[in-house]
Amino acid sequence: MKRSPKEQEESARQITRRGLIVGGAMGVTAAVLGGRMHYLQVDRASDFRLLAEDNRISDRLIPPARGLIFDRSGVLLAGNEQNYRITMVRENAGDVDEVLDRLRQLVRLDVSRLSRVRDEIMSSPSFVPVTIADRLSWEELASVAVNAPALPGVTPDFGLSRVYPLGPDFAHVVGYVRDVPETYLERTGDTDPVLRIPDFQVGLLNIEEGLEPALRGRAGIRRVEVNAAGRIMRELNRVEPAKGADLQLTIDAGLQNYTEARLAGESAGAVILDCQSGEILALASAPTFDPNIFVRPLSSSTYGALLNDPYRPLANKATQGLYPPGSTYKMVVALAALEGGHIDTEETVHCGGYTELGNRRFHCWRRGGHGRLALLDAIAQSCDVFFYELAQRVGIEAISAMARRLGCGVAHELPLSAVAAGLAPTMDWKRANRGEDWLVGDTLNASIGQGYVLTSPLQLAVMTSRIASGREISPSIVKSVDGVDQVNAEPPALDIPPDFLDAVRTGMYRVSNTNRGTAYGSRVVEASYAIAGKTGTSQVRNITAAERAAGVTSNEDLPWERRDHALFVGFAPYDAPRYACSVVVEHGGGGAAVAAPIARDLLLRAQAGEVPPLELYPEGQRRRVQEMHDNMTLMPIHRPLPDGGGSSQA
């Protein structure tokens, strides 16, 4: 039917209106899209360009080789060895359990270790390699490589791993490295990105920990192209890592080995110093442990055995152990008394076996007393009553002040773990820490190195070196860093009159070289090797009046943990002091019987530079000494030859 002109006009108006609506909507849409494109391509162009670049380029850290550690003669104490290992990438492995089962047929894989590895594989990103086993032999690595088609996702790899060639001898000096603990970053505040590299290890004890920043080195950077999933496509460039600094210690490896061997079977600490420079030549703690076991995953049973051993092998007794110094402290009292003018070398004091203070008796170790003694013989015979008398004249403040001047009650600065400060007590200290006033009886106890006084073997060695040299010796253990000598200024002279030091040194000489000296049984027959020293025995239990009346129970009849500590300090040679030594044997009994023979051997070994010749010992002791040396485990020390080629054996 033909439409009328009016109907055609109405239809045209409707079409025009619809067209305008549709066109307007399309215009709005085009405007929105245009604005969005402008925002993305112009306003946010730089942001998205950076984001795209980050997706395309990734910087990966390359771990540096750890610095080496040597003894004073160039003997390697801590090194890096080639470590053959195998890794797995989960996305390439397919059935992880099946591949691990096949792998177990080729290499030894501990079941508990395998369980931890599987958990790590499943929790890591699928493209990240996870270490399955390390420290493989070349034969095991080759076996894995040959069977590669049957081991999808498994890759033979190699890297560097820390190794301690002399093992237990240096555990308490060098320490060890271990995987970065979860609490390490928070505890140290260390923000080095290299710490986040999988399997990266840091020093966790002694030199390895104390000089971690120098030993660690600086990470390299490997710039790679990765796809959107983070998978590496190709390497673009790299900056090689900077190796950590090499360290040379003051320790003598041969002397350290002899010291550890001589302490075998005891719970003990010993320190040997060069008493002219303060260099630590040996620092031993027994029993010890093999630091190599900490570099690898450590079983709970192995760690538990170390932790629960009553002899505490993990503790560094030489620097951390604190003990009442016993009679080795009497030199401190003697010097304080001489300097204060409270006595001279001629005045005598009578010892009847005890001193009465109020209603209490303070006994001498010799039940019947020593009779009348002057200062030098009181040191030689270790008369307690003599020093009770001096202590009452001098007072605790002057005694403790002298102790600190001689290096006791002071935390010496060394890059070792937890160097203890010890305690040279004062009246204010007791009020602040015990809430009590100081008593005269406290002073008498302190005068014989008991009561509140606490020292470490390191502090006793420093004290002895200062008395021997007359200088303010400070201990040091690092000789050079990357070949640069760590030069120490010449120690200043002690502000103690030389005559007083000479008097105390003479008393110490009599300890070891006169027939009434407490260490006469540990004398040296060759005058040029003569030792001056002081014995000490410190109680760890109270002796009741009833026990004293009936007879004090001997150490041999007591449980080990209730026996006295045995101590000895000494220097040699007497005429020209070069070496100072301290020995503390926990619950060893008497210092004269146990600690003095050990210290004599250590000082003779230091002077002779080898196992001490039998001719230096009294004739009646030579057979026993020979048998002892025959039974000691002494490691051969390979020293670099002067021309740098090969090595010699000491």
Q: Return the higher-pLDDT residue of 440 and 238.
A: 440
Q: HEC string of 312-376?
A: CCCCCCCCCCCECCHHHHHHHHHHHHHHCCCCCCCCEEEECCEEEECCEEEECCCCCCCEEEEHH
pLDDT class of 1 with cuts at 50, 70, 90: low
* Lowest mean pLDDT segment, chosen from 172-181, 219-228, 608-617: 219-228
C-alpha 291/C-alpha 168 separation (Å) is 7
CATH 3.90.1310.10 correct for 60-75+166-249:
yes
* CATH architecture of the domain with range 79-157: Alpha-Beta Complex (3.90)
CATH for the 253-294+316-478+489-640 domain, from 3.40.190.10, 3.10.450.50, 3.30.470.10, 3.40.710.10: 3.40.710.10
- Which residues are tagged catalytic? 327
Measured CA to CA in angstroms, residue 111 lies from 115, 116, 118, 150, 209 at distances of 6, 9, 11, 21, 32
C-alpha 284/C-alpha 286 separation (Å) is 7
DSSP-derived 3-state class of residue 71: coil
pLDDT tens, residue by residue, 529-557: 999 999 999 987 677 666 666 667 777 77
From start to end of 215-298, where are the E strands?
220-226, 232-239, 247-249, 268-274, 280-286
pLDDT class of 18 with cuts at 50, 70, 90: low
Please classify residue 43 by burial: count the beta carbons closer than 10 Å to its beta carbon, then call 0-12 exposed, 13-18 middle and 19+ buried. Answer: exposed
Starting at the edge strand found earlier in the chain, the sheet holding 57-62 runs 57-62, 220-226, 232-239
pLDDT of residue 536: 97
* Lowest mean pLDDT segment, chosen from 159-163, 264-268, 643-647: 643-647
C-alpha 595/C-alpha 207 separation (Å) is 28
pLDDT of residue 646: 40
| DSSP notation for 530-599 | --EEEEEEE-SSPPPHHHHHH-PPPGGGS-GGGSPEEEEEEEE-SSS--EEEEEEETT---IIIIIHHHH
pLDDT of residue 287: 97
Q: Residue 493 corresponds to which amino acid?
A: A
pLDDT tens, residue by residue, 311-326: 999 999 999 999 999 9
What average pLDDT does the segment 474-492 reach? 91
Q: Are 453 and 404 in contact (CB under 8 A)?
A: no
pLDDT of residue 641: 43
Domain ranges, ordered by start, for the chain: 60-75+166-249, 79-157, 253-294+316-478+489-640
pLDDT of residue 645: 40
DSSP-derived 3-state class of residue 277: coil
Q: Which residue has the tokens 């200290």?
A: 429
pLDDT of residue 341: 96
pLDDT of residue 461: 98
pLDDT class of 560 with cuts at 50, 70, 90: confident
pLDDT, averaged across the chain: 87
Q: Are 151 and 103 in contact (CB under 8 A)?
A: yes
Fold identical between 60-75+166-249 and 253-294+316-478+489-640? no
pLDDT of residue 322: 97
DSSP-derived 3-state class of residue 491: coil
pLDDT tens, residue by residue, 336-376: 999 999 999 999 999 999 999 988 999 999 989 999 999 99
pLDDT tens, residue by residue, 68-120: 999 999 999 999 988 777 877 777 777 888 888 888 888 877 676 777 777 77
pLDDT of residue 515: 95
Q: Are 296 and 134 in contact (CB under 8 A)?
A: yes
pLDDT of residue 650: 41
C-alpha 337/C-alpha 392 separation (Å) is 10
pTM of the model: 0.84
Measured CA to CA in angstroms, residue 185 lies from 182, 188, 197, 415 at distances of 7, 5, 13, 19
Best-predicted range by mean pLDDT among 40-49, 118-127, 406-415, 537-546?
A: 406-415
pLDDT class of 642 with cuts at 50, 70, 90: very low
